Structure 1
């Protein structure tokens, strides 16, 4: 039995059709979200550092919503950073989005380049688990 379902929110169809990956895949009650970067709905890089991090979280929120989940369902967060000196700024923004208890597990990784294009500073990958339906 194959219960995998691609999650493609409105506005991200090009990611699936042209770049050829699912923004997320839902398997049962678990949602695996692909790395979200700071590009807007027009697929353009958001250049301001803080706003780029905000946009990446907004993209994560959009994908989770399309899967029937929210940020409070995130159990594991993996972030990739082109400059680890951005971690204090990243954590400041992260704490605006992820403020539930318990907090998710988190791994931060340094990376040379993200999004296949210079200028991206962060990529956010997540795993969320929905509550069991009754």
Structure 2
């Protein structure tokens, strides 16, 4: 098996190693990013929902930047929301702060019952810019 080309955001490698997964993998010109949640530096959930969503995007953007890209390079998004019926409007009013201009990436939204103490998770696939394909 080939060695995985893992991308770690600054300062969080120990957190990912402790939890035994890679934050992102470069492969064939794409970046596959694990689901990002609104965790604090120690990995604990941010209790405020709006801040949790912002932290999830900040954590995502740190990984994208480390790989040499940005949310503009994202082509596919999956979001997971605990109890989306009651939380969707709160979450979706924050999305434009990070989403950018149209055309937007594809989107799949999934309602879930549990996210390890979190309320929102976002995972993406991005097309790496030329020179960032690792």
Please report the TM-score for the alignment, with normalisation by the length of structure 1.
0.89
Count residues in correspondence. Answer: 130
Whether the 8 Å contact between 2:69 and 2:129 is mirrored in structure 1 is no
* Superposition CA RMSD, Å: 1.7
What residue ranges of structure 2 are gaps of 5+ in the alignment?
A: none
Could you give the per-residue CA deviations for residues 70-94 of structure 1, whole angstroms, max 9, x where no partner exists?
Answer: 0111110000000112122222111
* Corresponding residue of 2:100: 99
Q: How does 1:38-77 map to 2 (within 5 A)?
A: 38-77=38-77
| C-alpha distance 42-3 of structure 1, shift in aligned 2 (>3 A) | closer
Counterpart for residue 17 of structure 2 = 17
Q: Equivalents in 2 of 1:38, 1:16: separation in Å?
A: 14
- Any stretches of 5+ residues in structure 1 without a counterpart? none
**Shift, 1:132, TM fit:** 3.6
| Cα 1:75/1:108, change in 2 over 3 Å | same
- Superposed, which structure 2 residues align to 1:101-116 within 5 Å? 101-114=102-115, 116=116
**Residue 34 (structure 1) aligns with:** 34
Alignment of 1:128 with 2:126, yes or no, is yes
Q: Deviations over 1:80-109 (max 9, x none)?
A: 000112122222111110113310001110
* 2:83 is the counterpart of 1:83: yes
Write the distance in 2 (CA, Å) between the matches of 1:45 and 1:2.
34
